[in-house]
Amino acid sequence: MPLPLAYKLEFLSQQVARRADPIQDATVICKVRKEVGPCIELRVDANRKWTYEEAIQFGFLVKDCDLQYIEEPVENVDDIVKFCEETGLPAALMM
């Protein structure tokens, strides 16, 4: 019997900041984490579309989802540093 797709993956990357608000994005990410389990690295990419406040809200809602990182949560690089300090989540920045 073949293994479920999630067991064949090493990581999963999900676009966020496409829904009406960060609460909806966080709900999706929490469901994804529950489905794939702890053995898959989970990354998210906000494409710098959130305000600082929206990113912080999302960060606290997904704090227990064991994200590998969130890519470009906000536009301003200084705010990305503050985001990491405030939420404890790692961030990636594409230059």
SS (H, E, C) 50-78: ECHHHHHHHHHHCHHHCEEEEECCECCHH
Ordered by where they begin, the domains of the chain are 5-92 (3.20.20.120)
- What single letter denotes the amino acid at residue 16? V
20-40 confidence digits (pLDDT tens): 789 999 999 999 999 888 888
Task: Please tell me the chain's helix, strand, coil percentages from 3-state DSSP, rounded to the nearest 5.
Answer: 45, 20, 35
Q: pTM (2 decimals)?
A: 0.83
33-92 confidence digits (pLDDT tens): 998 888 889 999 999 999 999 999 999 999 999 999 999 999 999 999 999 999 999 999
CA distance 41 to 68: 6
CA distance 24 to 87: 18
